[in-house]
Amino acid sequence: MNERKIRVLIAKPGLDGHDRGAKVVARALRDAGMEVVYTGLRQTPEMIAEAALQEDVDAVGLSILSGAHMALVPRVLELLKANGQERVKVFLGGIVPDEDVPLLLKMGVIGIYGPGTLSDTYISDIRKALLAENA
Amino acid sequence: MNLAQGVLDGDRLALARTLSQVENGTAEGKSALSALFPHTGKAHLVGITGASGTGKSSLVNQLARYYRQPTQTGKPRTVGIVAVDPTSPFTGGAILGDRIRMRDLAGDPGVFIRSMATRGSLGGLASATSAIVQVLDAAGYDLVLIETVGAGQSEIDIVRLAHTTIVVEAPGLGDDIQAIKAGILEIADVLVVNKADLPGVENTERALRGSLSLSHPPAQRVLHHGRMVNVPGQPPPDKDELVWIPPIQRTVALDGTGIPELADAIANHKIYLEATGAWQRRERWRLQTELDLLLQNTLVTDFRAHLPAGAYEQAVDELVSRRITPFQAVESLVSNADIKYKEAT
C-alpha cells in the first residue's frame, strides 16, 4: 500500500501523573487518520528522543502539567537535534504560563495547546507545519 | 545518505528511515530492501500472539530484558522488536501503545523497537511486517520478536513469518472447546500461560494440556470400567525423526517469573528446527508465500492498468444488478484486457 501516514509520538515527560489530556489528544489524532505512538507516563527526555528516533515520527507532542516545561522541552529539542531529527515538529499541551509561551515558540515549538483547545486547532497546525516542511 | 549501507553500518537513524520507506512501499524502500536481502536469513524470528490483554507486550519486554543479559557462553544477544497494533477501519488512524509496556528497554543500544499499524490488513500483522522484519534481520539483530495485534482465532499470518510461534493465554479466557478449535492453538510452537499468579491457572493449563494430548497422545495403562487397558498412544515416529510437542510454560510477565524457562523453550525449538531441517523448510515456505503475494499484487496491478477505461466499473455494475455472475465477470475482463504475457512457442 503506497500511503504516507503522519506518525506522531505522544509522551508525558516528568513526574506528574495527569495523562487524561495526553490520551484525549492521542485519540483526536487517531481520529484524524494519524498513527499515534503513545508511550505513557514518566518519560525522561532521553526516552522520548530515543522513541522518536526508532519510530521515525514526524511530530512529538509533550504533555506537561508539572511546571517543569522550561527544563524538559529544551532538553527534548536538543536531543532530537543531536539524533539528526531536527525536522521533527514538537508541540506542547498541559499547563504553560503565558509568559513562557514566546520563549518556547522561539526555541522551535510549533504550538502550545492548553486546556479547552479544540482538536481541529492542533491537527491543522501539525498538518500545516509538515506540509511546509515537504513543500 | 545511502539507506541500506547505513542499516548495515548500524546507523540507527538510517535504520528508522529505511523502516518508514519500506512500510510506505516507496521506490527508495524497495531499492533498500533489494540491497539488504542478501544479508537476511540470520536472525531467529520469534512471533508472539494471543488474545488482547493476555500480556504479550509485557512478555516481549521481559524476554528482551532476559536476552540482554550476558549468557554463560558469551555476549548478550541483540533484539529487534516489531509491535503491531490495529488501524481504525473508519479513520485510518491508529494508537500504537505497545511501547508503554517496554519502558525497561529504553536506553539500551542493543534493542530496537518499532511499532506499526495494520493499515487494513486482517491476518494479525501488517502487509509490510515481513519486509520490516527483513530489514531488522539485515541490520544484524540476533533475535527479532514480532508481536501481533490482539488475535482471536484466525489471525495466524504470524506462522508464515516466524520460525517459532509463541501463543500466549491467560487464566479465565475460555473452556476446553476453545482449546481444540482450529486456528491459534494449532500454530503454537510454545504455549504460555501468562498471569500465572492469578486463580484458575491450573484449569487453563489443564485445558491446554488436554488439547495437546489429543494430537500427541501418550502411551499409558489405565483403569477403564474395572479393567486395565493398554492405550497405545501415538504411533512411534520414523527412526531418527524428532517430534516437537509444544511445551506449556507458566509466566508472570510483570515480575519475570518463568521467563528463563520460556527462553530455554524458544532456544530448544530452534535446535529442533535446525536438527530436523525444518528451519530450511520454513524459510522456503515463507519466501514462497511472500513471492506468491508479491506476484499476485504485481499481476493484478498490471492487469488493471491494461483494462479498457471503465471496464472494471462496468463489470461491478453488472454484478450488482445480477446481470452476470462473478465467474462471467472475470472471464469478460480477462478477454477484454489488452495484455499478453510471453506465449510459449
Asked if residue B193 lies in contact with residue B208, where contact means CB atoms within 8 angstroms, the answer is yes
Asked if the Cβ–Cβ distance from B103 to A39 is below 8 Å, we say yes
Which residues from A are below 8 Å from B88, CB to CB? 30-31
Instruction: Give the residue extent of every domain in chain A.
Output: 7-134
Q: Which three cell numbers stand for residue B250?
A: 507458566
Determine, yes or no, domain membership for B301: no
pLDDT of residue B139: 97
Of B88, B114, B119, the CB nearest to A55: B114
Q: Mark whether B33 and B140 lie in a shared domain.
A: no
Residues 6+ apart with CB under 8 A from B267: none
Asked if residue B35 lies in contact with residue B28, where contact means CB atoms within 8 angstroms, the answer is no
Q: What is the mean pLDDT of the segment spanning A28-56?
A: 95
Q: Which of B266, B281, B296 is the last residue of a domain?
A: B281
Of A2, A47, A56, the CB nearest to B16: A56
Q: Mark whether B9 and B25 lie in a shared domain.
A: yes
Among residues B44, B36, B48, the alpha carbon closest in space to that of B134 is found at B36
Determine, yes or no, domain membership for B134: yes
Q: Which of B281, B304, B333 is the last residue of a domain?
A: B281
Interface A:B, Cβ pairs < 8 A: 89
Of B92, B94, B100, the CB nearest to A39: B100
Chain A nearest C-alpha distance from B90 (Å): 8
Count CB atoms within 10 A of the CB of residue A28: 18
Which residues from A are below 8 Å from B127, CB to CB? 1
Angstrom distance (rounded) from CA B305 to CA B312 = 11
Tabulate helix, strand, coil % of chain B (nearest 5).
45, 15, 40
The answer regarding whether domain A7-134 maps to CATH 3.10.20.520 reads no
Determine, yes or no, domain membership for B85: yes
Determine, yes or no, domain membership for B125: yes
Asked if residue B59 lies in contact with residue B67, where contact means CB atoms within 8 angstroms, the answer is no
Q: Mark whether B224 and B88 lie in a shared domain.
A: yes
pLDDT of residue A2: 41
Of A1, A54, A55, the CB nearest to B25: A1
pLDDT of residue A1: 39
State which H helix or E strand residue A35 sits in.
strand A35-38
Q: Which three cell numbers stand for residue B33?
A: 530492501
Chain B residues contacting A via beta carbons under 8 Å: 12-13, 16-17, 19-20, 24-26, 87-88, 91-97, 99-100, 103, 106-107, 112-115, 117, 119-120, 127-128
Chain A nearest C-alpha distance from B84 (Å): 11
Determine, yes or no, domain membership for B308: no
Count CB atoms within 10 A of the CB of residue B74: 7
Chain A nearest C-alpha distance from B215 (Å): 39
Asked if residue B147 lies in contact with residue B80, where contact means CB atoms within 8 angstroms, the answer is no
Asked if the Cβ–Cβ distance from A54 to B16 is below 8 Å, we say yes
Of A2, A34, A53, the CB nearest to B25: A2
Total domains in chain B come to: 2
Mean of the per-residue pLDDT values of chain A: 92
Q: Mark whether B32 and B134 lie in a shared domain.
A: no
Among residues B208, B214, B287, the alpha carbon closest in space to that of B41 is found at B287
In angstroms, how far is CA B294 from the centroid of its own chain? 18
Angstrom distance (rounded) from CA B41 to CA B44 = 8
Determine, yes or no, domain membership for B316: no
Which residues from A are below 8 Å from B97, CB to CB? 37-38, 40
Q: Mark whether B23 and B171 lie in a shared domain.
A: no
Angstrom distance (rounded) from CA B203 to CA B10 = 47
Q: Mark whether B265 and B232 lie in a shared domain.
A: yes
Q: Mark whether B119 and B74 lie in a shared domain.
A: yes
Q: Mark whether B236 and B89 lie in a shared domain.
A: yes
Cβ burial, residue B135 (10 Å; 0-12/13-18/19+): buried
Report ipTM for this prediction: 0.92
Question: Is residue B237 helix, strand or coil?
Answer: coil
Q: Mark whether B49 and B32 lie in a shared domain.
A: no
Asked if residue B274 lies in contact with residue B281, where contact means CB atoms within 8 angstroms, the answer is no
Residues 6+ apart with CB under 8 A from B274: none
Q: What b-and-e string marks burial along B275-301, b requiring 16 or more CB atoms within 10 Å of the CB?
A: eeebbeebeeebeeeeeeeeeeeeeee
Asked if residue B169 lies in contact with residue B196, where contact means CB atoms within 8 angstroms, the answer is no
Question: Is residue B38 helix, strand or coil?
Answer: helix
Q: Mark whether B106 and B7 lie in a shared domain.
A: no
**Which chain B residue's Cα is nearest to A48?**
B106
Angstrom distance (rounded) from CA B205 to CA B208 = 5
Of A33, A39, A50, the CB nearest to B93: A33
Asked if the Cβ–Cβ distance from A1 to B120 is below 8 Å, we say yes
Query: Digits of tens for pLDDT over chain B (345 positions)?
Result: 589 999 999 999 999 999 999 999 899 999 999 999 999 999 999 999 988 888 999 999 999 999 999 877 788 999 999 999 999 888 999 999 999 999 899 989 999 999 999 998 888 898 899 999 999 999 999 999 999 988 766 677 888 899 999 999 888 776 555 555 556 777 899 999 999 999 888 888 888 888 777 766 666 677 777 777 777 666 655 555 678 889 999 999 999 999 999 999 999 999 999 999 999 998 898 889 889 888 988 888 888 888 888 888 999 999 999 999 999 999 988 888 777 766 655
Q: Specify the pTM.
A: 0.88
Instruction: List, in sequence order, every beta strand (DSSP E) within chain B.
Output: 44-50, 79-85, 94-96, 111-117, 143-147, 164-169, 190-193, 220-224, 227-231, 248-250
Determine, yes or no, domain membership for B288: no
Is beta strand B111-117 parallel, antiparallel or unpaired with respect to B143-147? Answer: unpaired
Output the domain CATH number for residue B221. Answer: 3.40.50.300
Cell numbers 473508519: residue? B90
The DSSP call for residue A13 is B
Q: Mark whether B65 and B6 lie in a shared domain.
A: no
Asked if the Cβ–Cβ distance from B16 to A55 is below 8 Å, we say yes
Q: Mark whether B184 and B48 lie in a shared domain.
A: yes
Q: Which of B281, B296, B317 is the last residue of a domain?
A: B281
**Domain interval for residue B31:** 1-38
Determine, yes or no, domain membership for B323: no
User: How many angstroms separate the Cα of B321 from the Cα of each of B311, B314, B316?
Assistant: 15, 11, 9
**Which chain B residue's Cα is nearest to A29?**
B93
Q: Which residue has the higher pLDDT, A54 or B73?
A: A54
Chain A residues contacting B via beta carbons under 8 Å: 1-5, 7, 26-27, 29-40, 43-44, 46-47, 50-51, 53-56, 83-85
